[in-house]
Amino acid sequence: MPAKNPDLHGNVPDRSDVVLLLIDVINDLEFDTGEALLRHALPMARKIAALKRRARVARIPVIYVNDNFGKWRSDLNALVEHCLEDGVRGERIVKLLKPDEEDYFVLKPKHSGFFSTTLDTLLAYLKAKTLVLTGLTGNFCVFLTASDAFMRDFNIVVPRDCVASIRKNDNDYALQQMRIVLDADLTLSDELDFRALLKRAHQQARKNVPKPDPQPEQFGRMKKSA
């Protein structure tokens, strides 16, 4: 295999300074606190769905970063099918946020989207500088993913109406910590300007020395779900 493969044979055709991440939104919510989380997650899902449509118009790549629920053989398509067909609590969330064929996905074994996943490599191929983080839960997986993104020098945007936690107070506290500690932009999703984010990221990128490309690696693209 060559040291570099500029087009990845079509596996990662996109290139964008800004990327939208949906964290753990493919979730059956079948756990003890799932009902409490659903109350906050449903309005969040509606906001994310609208934001994703705008991202698509702006040609912003979308990456689903999702837990594998402890099943190393599972994949996102199997999780989507389970959530849509098995009468689970999270069905309404997944109907709103079902992945599209052109979306990317990264399956994660633990809480952060970066831990033991291909997210770093995928973001490098996309040439991403700014990450827009959304999903579940604000005080846990979103927060830890944002922390790892901060350590990798990404610009972080967390639309505050696009994350949810079991308890609102915990969610609000996590958002404030992301703002204070991680310098996260908490702009509401309706007010988020993708064109402005792209311009800002492009200007910042011109001031930095580009990082070398990583070694080629396969990335999943979503298959159409029934």
For the stretch 102-156, pLDDT in tens is 999 999 989 999 999 999 999 999 999 999 999 999 999 999 999 999 999 999 9
pLDDT at 215: 47
pLDDT at 1: 43
For the stretch 51-85, pLDDT in tens is 999 999 999 999 999 987 656 566 778 889 999 99
Q: Are 76 and 64 in contact (CB under 8 A)?
A: yes
Rg (the chain; Cα; Å): 17
Q: Of 2-11, 40-49, 160-169, 190-199, which range is least confident?
A: 2-11
Say which amino acid occupies 140. Answer: F
Domains, the chain, ordered by start: 22-215 (3.40.50.850)
- Considering the entire predicted model, what is its pTM? 0.86
**CA distances in angstroms from 135 to 15, 29, 108, 204, listed in the order given:** 23, 13, 14, 26
